[in-house]
Amino acid sequence: MPQFIINQPITTEVPVVEVTVSPDKPLAIGRQRFQLIVTDNSGNVSKPDVVEVIVADQDAPTAVLAVPTVTGFGKSFNISGEKSFDAGGGKIVKYAWTYLGPATVIG
Among residues 59, 7, 56, the alpha carbon closest in space to that of 35 is found at: 7
Query: What is the count of structural domains for the chain?
Result: 2
Give a yes or no: residue 38 inside a domain.
yes
Same domain, 46 and 33: yes
Give a yes or no: residue 102 inside a domain.
no
- Beta strands 49-55; 30-36: pairing state: antiparallel
Domain ranges, residue 19: 1-55
Same domain, 41 and 12: yes
In a 3-state reduction of DSSP, which class is residue 36? strand
Give a yes or no: residue 47 inside a domain.
yes
Looking at residue 1, its pLDDT comes to 65
Overall pTM surpassing 0.85 (yes/no)? no
- Contact predicate 31/65, CB 8 Å: no
What is the full per-residue pLDDT of the chain (107 aa) written as tens digits?
678 889 999 999 999 999 988 888 888 888 899 999 999 999 999 998 988 898 888 889 999 999 998 999 999 999 999 999 998 888 999 999 988 888 776 66
Give a yes or no: residue 85 inside a domain.
yes
